[in-house]
């Protein structure tokens, strides 16, 4: 994992799988205070029926919980530490959640991520 700075928020990026780890509170910082973003953050639900493989939290090594974000389909599944250390985003999921938050197109984070993942 390497540390990346996205708009003054330090995130951990895995160069092997393209996943991103955000410490607790960092997603809020990235999304900012837009109304859409707040709604999205309040829409997190634990998915106890998920059949996706569970990951381990990189900080406490506990199995993470599957979280469903938003109500639009297809739903976006995320992994969340049960202790609240933070959130894991598989490749592309951070962009997905930012898209769902309907941040404006000039948003710096969107651009940074687009640059990062362009191959
Ligand atoms: Zn943890």
Instruction: Tell me the CA–centroid distance for residue 58 and ligand 1, in Å.
Output: 7
What pLDDT digit, counting tens, does each position of 53-87 carry? 889 999 999 999 999 887 767 778 899 999 999 99
- Residue 118: partners with Cβ closer than 8 Å, 6 or more residues away: none
**Which residues line ion ligand 1, judged by CB < 5 Å?**
57, 59-60, 81, 83, 85
Instruction: Tell me the CA–centroid distance for residue 105 and ligand 1, in Å.
Output: 33
What pLDDT digit, counting tens, does each position of 19-51 carry? 999 999 999 888 887 777 888 888 888 988 888
60: left (phi over 0), alpha (psi -120 to 50) or beta: alpha
pLDDT confidence of residue 51: 84
pLDDT confidence of residue 26: 92
Instruction: Tell me the CA–centroid distance for residue 26 and ligand 1, in Å.
Output: 15
């Amino acid at each position: 994992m390497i540390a990346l700075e996205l708009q003054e928020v330090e995130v951990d990026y895995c160069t092997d799988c393209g996943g991103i780890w955000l410490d607790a509170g960092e997603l809020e910082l990235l999304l900012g205070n837009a109304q859409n973003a707040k709604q999205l953050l309040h829409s997190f639900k634990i998915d106890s029926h998920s059949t996706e493989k569970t990951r381990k939290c990189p900080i406490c090594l506990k199995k993470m919980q599957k979280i469903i974000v938003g109500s639009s389909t297809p739903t976006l599944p995320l992994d969340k530490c049960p202790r609240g250390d933070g959130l894991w985003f598989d490749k592309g999921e951070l962009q997905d959640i930012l898209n769902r938050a309907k941040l404006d197109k000039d948003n710096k984070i969107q651009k940074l991520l687009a640059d990062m993942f362009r191959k």
